[in-house]
Amino acid sequence: MTVSENFQEPELSRIIEMAWEDRTPFEAIETLYGLPEKDVIRLMRRELKPASFRLWRKRVTGRNTKHRQLRPEGVSRGYCPTQYKHR
């Protein structure tokens, strides 16, 4: 059984969305879905087109906002407070 077979389409979509978001750390995905970074990478490789996967990997490799331990001290949130607009 592969990683992506463990999730239904809405969950897969949300995991992929979170993986693409610059400010969502891999640890947040692991907390919500139980997928460590290596499994997120495996899922992205399987679910994305090859060119999209390469673009994503280039984008997140070494990005300090994708790894909680690389973030500046005091930044504990996964999103900007103004990211979600309330009516």
Q: Confidence band (pLDDT; 50, 70, 90) for 87?
A: very low
What's the pLDDT tens digit per position in 53-82?
999 999 988 777 776 665 556 555 555 555
Between helix 9-20 and helix 50-60 the angle, nearest 10°, is 50
Q: Which residue has the higher pLDDT, 67 or 43?
A: 43
Computed from CA positions of residues 83, 63, 28, 4, in that sequence, does the dihedral angle turn out positive or negative? positive
Fill in the DSSP letter of residue 72.
Answer: P
- Going from N- to C-terminal start, the domains of the chain cover 8-67
pTM of the model: 0.73
- CB distance 66 to 25 below 8 Å: yes
